[in-house]
Structure 1
Amino acid sequence: MADTDVRDRAWRLIREQSWSGAMNMALDEIAAETAADGGPRTVRVYRWNPSTLSLGYRQDPDTVDWAFCEREGIEVTRRQTGGGGIYHDTNGDISYSIVAPKDELPSSLMDCYHLLCTPVLDAFERMGVAADFAEKELPEIYHPACYLRELHPAHDIVADGRKISGNAQYRRKNAVIQHGSLTYSVDAERHLSTFTGHDVSPETFRERVTGIDEESETSRSEAVSAVERALADWAAADDGSWTDDELERARERAAEKYADDDWVRRRPDER
């Protein structure tokens, strides 16, 4: 499916908002239900407040330094998408989601990734960051941490050979959700401290991961605006907002699922 086909549909842009980690994940689900029920497709930009460690769907909770996260006020939630954990710093992370009905997007996972990552790459270009898909897989450094796993050409975006954006998809019965993080500023020490049982140094982390503030002179607010404009232009989206009903359902979903200890701390063999 071409980009022009995407623009023929009705999309809404929800500009950057700050939500808890649990609420951010719940809003993705609710947006999918809205799109599947004939409502608008959604492109949105969001912030994690407080800073949050999001675990991959099957990640072992024993890889988390729970004491550090509690002491530092870092929320821990679990994504529907796979992969390793990601520390989303309130100031150092810029996240986005794209949500649309499944039958309007390519059935091929690779084709779908390349289509939905188009505005992400455009955003980097607007910021003056020379970023593109990883050309080759790089060896894994530490499996529990998403940004230290093997780089995958399908969905990992690099700048100057270092990862700057991770993207993931999951498919519900009638909708596709792609969400991802663009690293604005790297805090290697804090990111690594959310995990336990490793000997990865901050220097090693920085050799694998870079941030927008290292690759350009773009301020965070300018970077957010670039992502918003890229998403809006790609989808021909109108400015929009959540309905009261969507927010109510998202709060219920967050409480019963993404903020619930049983969901967050469940072990892989229990899923």
Structure 2
Amino acid sequence: MTSLLAEKEWRVIPEEETRSGPMQMALEEVAAETARNGGPRTVRVYRWKPSTLSLGYRQAAETVDWEFCDQQSIDVTRRPTGGGGIYHDTIGDISYSIIAPSKELPQDVMESYHLLCQPVLEAFNKMNIAADFAEREYPAIHEPACYLRGVNPAHDIVVDGQKISGNAQNRQQETVIQHGSISYKLTPETQLGCFANPETNAKTYRDRVTSINEQVGLTRKNAVRTLKETLTAWTDASQGEWSNEEIAKAKELAEAKYRSDAWVKDRSDPTETS
């Protein structure tokens, strides 16, 4: 099913991009600049390699077990979006993003979430997973962790009360970046290990969170393909790729910002000019 957004120019980045966490976040910022300057809007499905803990924008660095992440070779970066930290396992996580000018989207944030999550819900339906927005709030189990925060009906997707996807938006400089994490396979011990004093255990995690693999046993390759094809059809996107200029900008931004201690630990953007 296509949307009214399909009247605009969209590109889908080839299935499934595998890059480092800092580079993935830098590419989204660059894609927003491209859309803002009259270029194509972007949809994509991507993978984090190495596995990465992405912190929410306002999350305190003290909530991270830095020694554990170092020992497990887990990268740490910070998203420009809010919410809790997400451990993006290279196998266990499937991520997507939708990037477009804000003037083309509802200004009401909840309406915007519900619009941009339509293809995600449609993809779950094609996978025979009965996923939908949470009908009510659920209390937090461990606030620093995205999948264990209080469940929000505005943007959290659940299956029978268990969270399967978290989604977040960044709205600035006339563009919207919506990205989301979809749980393909649970890795509770590693998820919890990324956080300092997680106040819970693997059993409680499994009670709160579910995954595509647990629900239907679909292969990861087929799950990724279903999501990518649904996003493509919903926007009527053409096959695209990053330009050489975008890749060069993103590489520079990844090192200068998304891998820097100033951004990751102190939430200070070293690339901002006063």
Aligned counterpart, 2:162: 162
Contact 2:142 2:199 in 1 (8 A): no
1:144-191, CA deviations, whole angstroms, 9 ceiling, x for partnerless residues?
111111100010000121000000001111110000011000010010
Tell me, in whole angstroms, the C-alpha distance in 2 between the residues paired with 1:92 and 1:114. 25
Equivalenced residue count is 267
RMSD: 1.2
TM-score by length of 1: 0.97
Q: Give the alignment of 1:1-271 within 5 angstroms.
A: 4-14=3-13, 15-266=15-266
1:27-67, CA deviations, whole angstroms, 9 ceiling, x for partnerless residues?
11000000000000000010000000000001110110000
Contact 1:11 1:236 in 2 (8 A): yes
Tell me, in whole angstroms, the C-alpha distance in 1 between the residues paired with 2:19 and 2:3. 32
Tell me, in whole angstroms, the C-alpha distance in 2 between the residues paired with 1:122 and 1:254. 32
- Structure 1 residues without counterparts, runs of 5 or longer: none
- Structure 2 residues without counterparts, runs of 5 or longer: 269-274
Tell me, in whole angstroms, the C-alpha distance in 2 between the residues paired with 1:33 and 1:20. 20
State the Cα distance separating 1:13 from its structure 2 match. Answer: 0.5
Contact 2:57 2:267 in 1 (8 A): no
Contact 2:2 2:233 in 1 (8 A): no
Tell me, in whole angstroms, the C-alpha distance in 2 between the residues paired with 1:182 and 1:147. 10
Tell me, in whole angstroms, the C-alpha distance in 2 between the residues paired with 1:222 and 1:36. 33
Tell me, in whole angstroms, the C-alpha distance in 2 between the residues paired with 1:36 and 1:251. 20
Code of the residue aligned with 1:99 in structure 2: it is: I
State the Cα distance separating 1:217 from its structure 2 match. Answer: 2.4
Tell me, in whole angstroms, the C-alpha distance in 2 between the residues paired with 1:86 and 1:267. 17
State the Cα distance separating 1:267 from its structure 2 match. Answer: 6.0
1:84-128, CA deviations, whole angstroms, 9 ceiling, x for partnerless residues?
100000000000000001111110101100000001001111111
Aligned counterpart, 2:272: none
* Greater mean alpha carbon deviation, residues 259-268 or residues 86-95: 259-268
State the Cα distance separating 1:5 from its structure 2 match. Answer: 2.1
Structure 1 SS opposite 2:176: strand
Contact 1:23 1:251 in 2 (8 A): yes
Q: Equivalent pairs: percent with the same residue?
A: 55
Tell me, in whole angstroms, the C-alpha distance in 1 between the residues paired with 2:267 and 2:97. 26
State the Cα distance separating 1:3 from its structure 2 match. Answer: 5.8
* Greater mean alpha carbon deviation, residues 3-12 or residues 71-80: 3-12
Tell me, in whole angstroms, the C-alpha distance in 2 between the residues paired with 1:134 and 1:176. 23
Return closer, same or farther for 1:267/1:248 CA change in 2, 3 Å cut-off. Answer: closer
Contact 1:20 1:49 in 2 (8 A): yes
Tell me, in whole angstroms, the C-alpha distance in 1 between the residues paired with 2:24 and 2:3. 29
Structure 2 SS opposite 1:180: strand
Tell me, in whole angstroms, the C-alpha distance in 1 between the residues paired with 2:103 and 2:44. 20
